[in-house]
């Protein structure tokens, strides 16, 4: 009996194994039904920092969900937001472009939909609303910039191989979030003059910004191990750039959240 009690005591003293939980979240914007996915570590107690993930132009696919899960494993509550509509996922560039243009054609609506995604994270009951951030890939990277330009509650926004919409003059002195971007020098989707204009406009806006440009042949989608499967020459995974950008992102979140 003494031995049994000792074993039970040891078991009770062992730390609870962390496990990532997930929940589907349905919401709506401008008549479009949206479906996002919430991820969190059930071993965490109390409201902690939260991060929203915005997908690339392919839609809310497994890659975006994987990044959200990785954030949950790192200790954050993560929400993979839906910017297109329930079930709108493709591997066809023409379809992806069509859906992207439907969203980006109306900048106000684009910003509203992104803000609504962050609101779902906030409403989860798991997040400290004073400690939220957002990350985005490709189209999602452009989306988190629109969040910065429209006065987001997020303390930091991070974009990877992003479209780079320039900050309008109207936001000078009004960008209250930290902006961090990761870009590949070999990305032929974004012309050098677009990069320069983007940097200049952030500087003119007095924003708190940082941009890391990986040299050499680092191309678009450098964070996605499956980049080559789309058959587009400019899409190429780069393990070093992927690891470096992710590590720097986590460091930023430790500082700001």
Positive/negative CA dihedral, 120, 125, 129, 132: negative
pTM here is: 0.92
CATH fold for the domain made of 18-256:
Rossmann fold (3.40.50)
44 pLDDT tier (thresholds 50, 70, 90):
confident
Condensed to tens digits (0 to 9), the pLDDT of residues 240-251 reads 999 999 999 999
Spatial distance between the Cα atoms of 47 and 51, rounded to a whole number of angstroms: 13
Average pLDDT of every residue of the chain: 94
Spatial distance between the Cα atoms of 214 and 144, rounded to a whole number of angstroms: 20
Task: State how far the alpha carbon of 82 is from the alpha carbons of 91, 110, 128, 175, in Å.
Answer: 16, 12, 22, 24
What residues does each domain of the chain span? 18-256
Condensed to tens digits (0 to 9), the pLDDT of residues 93-125 reads 999 999 999 999 999 999 999 999 999 999 999
State what percent of residues in the chain have pLDDT above 90. Answer: 91
46 pLDDT tier (thresholds 50, 70, 90):
confident
Residue 55, pLDDT > 50, answer yes
């Amino acid at each position: 009996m003494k031995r049994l009690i000792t074993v039970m005591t040891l078991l009770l003293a062992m730390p609870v194994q962390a496990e990532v939980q997930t929940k589907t979240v349905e919401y709506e914007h401008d008549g479009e039904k949206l479906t996002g996915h919430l991820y969190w570590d059930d071993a965490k107690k109390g409201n902690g920092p939260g991060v929203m993930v915005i997908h690339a132009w392919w839609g809310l696919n497994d890659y975006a969900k994987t990044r959200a899960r990785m954030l949950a494993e790192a200790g954050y509550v993560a929400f993979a937001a839906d910017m297109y509509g329930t079930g709108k996922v493709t591997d066809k560039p023409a379809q992806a472009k069509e859906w992207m243009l439907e969203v980006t054609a109306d900048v106000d609506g684009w910003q509203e939909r992104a803000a609504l995604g962050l609101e779902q994270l906030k409403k989860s009951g798991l997040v400290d609303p004073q400690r939220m951030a957002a990350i985005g890939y490709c189209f999602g990277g452009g989306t988190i910039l629109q969040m910065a330009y429209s006065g987001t509650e997020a303390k930091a926004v991070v974009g990877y191989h992003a479209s780079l919409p320039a900050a309008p003059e109207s936001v000078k002195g009004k960008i209250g979030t930290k902006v961090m971007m990761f870009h590949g020098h070999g990305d032929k989707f974004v012309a050098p003059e677009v990069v320069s204009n983007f940097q200049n406009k952030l500087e003119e806006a007095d924003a708190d910004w940082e941009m890391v440009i990986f040299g050499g042949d680092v191309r678009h989608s450098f964070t996605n191990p499956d980049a080559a499967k789309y058959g587009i020459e400019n899409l190429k995974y780069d393990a070093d750039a992927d690891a470096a950008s992710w590590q720097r992102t986590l460091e930023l979140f430790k500082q700001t959240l």
